[in-house]
């Protein structure tokens, strides 16, 4: 099986350290997708379909907004998990986003 774009996305997401978050665009860039950041979002939609549920709660948009929180089982689960990892969520938004940001381009 060739590593599809989605599998690579899953791999990167799984590599996100605990207490850290990243953005769709950063993942897309690290995979060479560049502007195809939306593909990362589509890949995340498969997060609930894959066997090991991906820590999709660690993936937010470029401003640290929990855009996909409504796709979680209880929509509040995303913020709850992030807060459980020491990340502050306010107004469905990651506080100190740049501090908790995990750059796959650099850390991978």
104 interacts with DNA by CB under 7 A:
no
Q: Which of 88, 82, 86 is nearest to 59 (CA)?
A: 82
Match 């996100």 to its residue by tokens.
Answer: 16
Task: Out of 17, 19, 48, 86, point to the residue binding DNA (CB under 7 A).
Answer: 48
61 interacts with DNA by CB under 7 A:
yes
Task: Out of 7, 8, 15, 36, point to the residue binding DNA (CB under 7 A).
Answer: 36
How many residues of this chain bind DNA (CB under 7 A)?
27
> Does residue 6 contact residue 45 with C-beta atoms inside 8 Å?
no
Q: Which of 6, 32, 12, 1 is nearest to 104 (CA)?
A: 12
Cβ-based nearer residue to DNA, 41 or 104 = 41
Q: How far is the CB of 38 from DNA (least distance, A)?
A: 4
68 interacts with DNA by CB under 7 A:
yes
User: Which two tokens mark 22?
Assistant: 């990243």
8 interacts with DNA by CB under 7 A:
no
CA 5 to CA 86: how far, in whole Å? 30
Which distant-in-sequence residues (6+ apart) come within 8 Å of 103 by Cβ? 22, 26
62 interacts with DNA by CB under 7 A:
yes
Residues of this chain that bind DNA (CB under 7 A): 23-26, 28, 35-42, 44-45, 47-48, 56, 61-63, 67-69, 71-72, 78
């Amino acid at each position: 099986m060739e590593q599809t774009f989605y599998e690579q996305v899953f791999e990167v997401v799984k590599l996100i350290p605990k207490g850290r978050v990243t953005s769709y665009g950063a993942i897309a860039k690290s995979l060479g997708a560049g502007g195809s950041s939306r593909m990362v979002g589509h890949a995340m939609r498969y997060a609930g379909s894959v066997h090991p549920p991906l820590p999709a709660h660690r993936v937010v948009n470029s401003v640290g907004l929990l855009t996909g929180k409504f796709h979680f089982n209880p929509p509040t689960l995303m913020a709850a998990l992030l807060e459980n990892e020491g990340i502050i969520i306010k107004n469905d938004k990651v506080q100190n986003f740049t501090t908790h940001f995990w750059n796959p381009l650099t850390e991978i």
